Each structure stands twice: as structure tokens, then as C-alpha cells.
Amino acid sequence: MGYRIAVVGATGNVGHEMLNILAERAFPVDEIAALASRKSLGTEVSFGDRTLKTKDLDTFDFAGWDMALFAVGSEATKTYAPKAAKAGCVVIDNSSLYRYDSQIPLIVPEVNPEAIHDYKNKMIIANPNCSTAQMVVALKPLHDRARIKRVVVSTYQSVSGAGKDGMDALWDETKAVYNPTDNTPADKFTKQIAFNVIPHIDVFMDDGSTKEEWKMVAETKKIVDTSIKVTATCVRVPVFVGHSEAINIEFEDFLDEDEARDILREAPGIMVIDKREDGGYVTPVECVGDFATFISRIRQDSTIENGLNLWCVSDNLRKGAALNAVQIAELLGREVLKKG
């Protein structure tokens, strides 16, 4: 016997990848429901070699469903996730709504799988922000060996992190640069994104950082270790899919770059591609559709006592969202629900 799974936001970027990944990883599904807003009622989405017709989230009854993978944004999550949880269906949520609630586990399965048992507090599990997920997969094995004191990270985040509309904006603006009569207002992002970079993701906080940057700080503490200090600069770049991060790490103990490379090679979810030659590193276009978080450019930072630099690239729609959610579903199945 398998699971009855609802994918909520099935017409969106993340929901689409959730359906793909559930099929690719042969998740034991007895029944699957694809849900979106009423305007998408009947829209066809793929699930492996099957086609599903999208149902209306507003009228869906979650009673009898095992898990709901939510990818609809905070507003809709606020309305519908409690309904699903109340009906006995475990919610795995991609929005930021529940991530900082101390009662709700925030999980990256390679890092803090033991938190899964806290699902029963509210029948809700939170999935981290895309830029945090890939970073903590890389930080955890290094922290276990040499204790991380401080992380300085700069991100290069693709437009798909801003949903379908973000991808459309890059496409339309790029065309408009070549064809000025095709006059597209740059209204999805705060500045032109085509052939540009924007140091602003999510809203500004009182201290001058952005919410995206704050999320990386708060989520790394909750998932890995509250003692780790993080300072982040998050930047939107004109890449369709795949987030990149330049990460500088300061450890308590010395960690040699060769040992760090060996540790990362053995770590779950990581692929090291690190040759000191032309092209001997990973770029975002190469990570699209992959499960791994790729690490390149591992090198000592000799300007501080115990410092290391690395380059981290991953498919934000996968490890940053849909894959992590499916891995949580697998973990919940394996450790708790035990069907399939």
C-alpha cells in the first residue's frame, strides 16, 4: 500500500518539479491530486507518463490524504495548510510562513533528519528557502569536522526563484532589448533583470538587509547550529534556473582544503567538481534537472586563521524546493508513516 499525495500549486514552477521528482524517484503513490487555483481547473499537468487534470484547492477535501506538498506562496498557505493539517494530512510547505515557528520543524534531510518527529506538533513541516537549502548541505559536514564560527555568503540567484512570472520577465525583457518596439515594462523585478544584476530579493528589513538575507541567517541557525554567524548578500541574476553562491567560511579548527574536498566528496547530496583548469567547476546551466548540490573552487582563505572559500551551485527548483520537499516526504514515510 502506498500514499495518497496532494501537490498544491501543481501548475507552478515548484509544483511542476514536485510531480516530476515524485515520478522520477518512484515515490510509492497510490493516488495523486494536482491542485491549483480555480482559474487552472482542468489544466493538464504531467506525472511520469500520466496526465493529471488540476483540481480546485478551494473545494478540495484533504480528509484521507496522507501528505500535501504545498507550493503556493504564503497567503494561500495561510488559508489552506491549516485545513489540510486539521483533516489529518501532513503538510510539507515551501513558503516561508511556518519556517520560524519553533513548533514546526524546518528540515533538510541530509542535515537534520531527526527533526522529522516534531511533525506531530502541528502536522506541518517547513521546507527552507532555496538559497539556504543548498548552502547547509555543504556546511553541515564541514561543521561536524571543524566547527563553523562565521559564514560570509554572496548569492547569484536565478529568476525562477521568483516563480513563473520571474522567468517570463527575463524572457520578455531579453527580447525587448533586441527588439525595442517590443516594449515590455520591467515590473516584475525592481530594476531591469535582462543583462543586469539586482542586489535586492524580498523586502528590506530595518537594519538595511533584505528578508532573503535574513532568511539565510535565521534558517542556517535553525537547521544546522544556532551558534553559526551568517552574513549574506543576495543578488538576482539573469539566469533562468540554478542558484550559485560564493561562500567564505571561518572555522574554530584548522581545516585543510584537501581534507575539506574529501569530506565533501563523501557527504550526502553533494557532488564535488573541482579541477584547477579551464571549465573545471560547475555553473548553473549544468546543474539544471540534477539532484546534487555541486561544490567547486574549494580553497584556503589565507587572510583569516582558519578560513576556506568555495563555490556552491544547485537547481533551486529541485534541492532548493521540490526535491527537498520530496525527500522530506520520503523521510516521513520511512520513519513515521511506514506505508509503501
Ligand X SMILES: NC(=O)c1ccc[n+]([C@@H]2O[C@H](COP(=O)([O-])OP(=O)(O)OC[C@H]3O[C@@H](n4cnc5c(N)ncnc54)[C@H](OP(=O)(O)O)[C@@H]3O)[C@@H](O)[C@H]2O)c1
So which residues are the catalytic ones? 130, 243
Residue 17 vs 66, nearer CB to ligand X: 17
**Please, what is the minimum distance in Å from the beta carbon of residue 241 to ligand X?**
8
**Please, what is the minimum distance in Å from the beta carbon of residue 74 to ligand X?**
6
**Please, what is the minimum distance in Å from the beta carbon of residue 91 to ligand X?**
13
**Please, what is the minimum distance in Å from the beta carbon of residue 55 to ligand X?**
10
Residue 57 vs 92, nearer CB to ligand X: 57
Residue 40 vs 244, nearer CB to ligand X: 40
**Please, what is the minimum distance in Å from the beta carbon of residue 161 to ligand X?**
4
Residue 295 vs 325, nearer CB to ligand X: 325
Tell me which residue has its CB nearest to ligand X.
Answer: 12
**Binding residues for ligand X, per CB under 6 A?**
9-15, 36-37, 39-40, 57, 71-73, 76, 94-95, 129-130, 160-161, 163-164, 316-317, 320-321
**Residues 6 or more apart whose Cβ sits within 8 Å of residue 171:** none
Query: In the Cβ-directed half-sphere of 170, how many Cα atoms lie within 13 Å?
Result: 21
Count the Cβ atoms, other than its own, within 10 Å of residue 244.
25
Residue 86 vs 275, nearer CB to ligand X: 86
